Amino acid sequence: MKNYSLDRLIKINIALSAEKDIHNLLELILKEAMEITNCDGGTMYVKEKEYLHFNNMITKSKNFDKNNRNGDIGVPPVPLNRQHVCAVSALDHKRINIPDVYESKEYDFSGAQNYDRLNGYRTGSMLVIPMEDDKYNVIGVMQLINALDDDGKFIPFEEADEELIYALSSFAAISINNRRLAQNVNDILHSFVEVMVEAVDIRTPYNANHTRSMARYGRQFVEWLDTVDVGWRFTEEKKDPFIMSIWLHDIGKLQIPGRVMNKPTRLGQLKTEVFHRIEVAILMERLRALEKPDEEDEANRRIAMLKEAREDIEKADDAGFLSDELVMKLDTYKALTVTDSEGKDTKLLNEEEYTAISVRKGTLTEAERRIMEQHVSYTSQMLSKMKFDGDYEEVPLWAGAHHEFINGTGYPKQLSGDELSKEMRLLTILDIYDALTAEDRPYKPPMSPEKAFDVLKSMRDEGKLDGEILELFIRSNAWERRENPRGENDEIWTKERRSLL
């Protein structure tokens, strides 16, 4: 039996090293310990602050198997005091082997005896082992009940079994501690993401909803892929990195000037100067009419023209798209000379102002658009300063490619074809869809989903977007603005998802 158990111990240690889910790991430890000792019952406790919390409870003869994977196990935690044998084991770092709890005078087993009366059970032998990591920190306690002989009668736990279970618990404690350390690093990474996203949100009122909407669409799409057979599915290890890449895709906007990133109209900050110039010019014409009565008609004509120019410029400043007629008027105003407060002639619109107001679509000039496009490069540069390893290794690549097109016409690297992974192609679609349908952009009205899909399909036909992924996105309904079916809020990662135990 001893040789068999040692062989099993080696295999279990390999399994412990491979298992990433701590609930699975704890369950594996408890069941293996029960098999090695051939016992009827077992309980796994996890130490959290001043309590031992139940994680797994098993009683074979009662067909009882319960864990806290889905929440509270329904049993109150055990306080770390000397009234409970499991607490004493944790406090004293002590292995406790009791042949028969009913004959023990050292510990209070009234709770176990009450359980026996209520459930028609007989607690006999007990083995309690503290789970200590490599620094002798107790992270939990394993409690085994009723070692059984070949006839199914309880017997004391053998000393050899005690040594094996202690070794097993030590392996388990180190594995769990390593998982916790890894989770701490992961939590730090997620906290950094939250800080970065909040920093971007503070700088631009438009980005908060954009990023959150994209993350929601991405999460809903990934979950939908799990329910259908379309030849593509995110592994559990890749789901969180992909959503993280969405949250990080716009952090480069931290380096974009606010006057460009938050420019709500074509003129932006230039509007005040243009309208002030027009008001001054109107006043100067009125003065001319008073001082030179013979020029009154010409002055009134100029005043009417200036007022019309003000109306047209106001209209162009807020328009979603400039018509040919309006552009022709703006060309006229560019050539128009007005009088300033010192009586000197000056252009109604200088070159910078004309360039801004004559933008056909959107609010940014070509120069400003180039500045804005730099946010993608800044995102890559910022993320390159961090070390993304393992499952998160591709986060910077995905986040930095959300403006690339498969025909090579995107930016900043003009990637194309196989250089763009499915994750990159999907992120680009999510980004464009939300930009088209966003309801918080002051410079344009939101498109309906149907119209947005038409735009996306035209981009597909131009060879820019992946048609198969686009069709999957449309089919998934992940783009619907709905409440999360599980009732999760808009936090980046819920506490439950990040919790280990």
State pLDDT tens for residues 295-336.
Answer: 999 999 999 999 999 999 999 998 988 999 999 999 999 999
* Cα gap 478→22, rounded to integer Å: 31
Per-residue confidence (pLDDT) for residue 177, from 0 to 100: 80
Over range 386-393, report the average pLDDT: 88
* Cα gap 436→425, rounded to integer Å: 17
Q: Where are the domains of the chain?
A: 2-181, 204-259+367-498, 268-362
Beta strands in 11-85 (DSSP E): 39-48, 51-59, 64-67, 78-79
Architecture of domain 204-259+367-498: Orthogonal Bundle (1.10)
Per-residue confidence (pLDDT) for residue 106, from 0 to 100: 84
- Could you give the C-alpha distances from 455 to 46, 208, 475, in angstroms and in order? 54, 24, 16
Per-residue confidence (pLDDT) for residue 72, from 0 to 100: 58
* Cα gap 57→27, rounded to integer Å: 9
Domains 2-181 and 204-259+367-498 share a fold: no
Res. 492: pLDDT tops 60 = no
> Pick from 291, 402, 306, 403: which is nearest to 346 by CA?
306
3-state DSSP call for residue 451? helix
Contact 98, 104 (CB under 8 A): yes
440 CB neighbour count, 10 Å cutoff: 12
Per-residue confidence (pLDDT) for residue 456, from 0 to 100: 97
**pTM (2 decimals)?**
0.69
Per-residue confidence (pLDDT) for residue 370, from 0 to 100: 95
More confident residue, 180 or 97: 97
Per-residue confidence (pLDDT) for residue 493, from 0 to 100: 45
Average pLDDT, the chain: 88
Per-residue confidence (pLDDT) for residue 1, from 0 to 100: 44
Per-residue confidence (pLDDT) for residue 5, from 0 to 100: 55
Sign of the torsion angle spanned by Cα atoms 285, 287, 290, 291:
negative
CATH T-level topology, domain 2-181: Beta-Lactamase (3.30.450)
Res. 488: pLDDT tops 50 = no
Which residues lie below 8 Å from residue 13, measured CB to CB, with a gap of 6+? 171
More confident residue, 397 or 211: 397
Contact 312, 329 (CB under 8 A): yes
Contact 119, 146 (CB under 8 A): no
Res. 494: pLDDT tops 60 = no
3-state DSSP call for residue 281? helix
| Interhelix angle 467-476/207-225, nearest 10 degrees | 90
Over range 454-482, report the average pLDDT: 95
DSSP character for 321?
Answer: B
* Cα gap 119→69, rounded to integer Å: 24
DSSP character for 448?
Answer: P
- 122-131, 140-149, 481-490: which range is least confident on average? 481-490
> Pick from 351, 312, 318: which is nearest to 334 by CA?
351
Per-residue confidence (pLDDT) for residue 227, from 0 to 100: 96
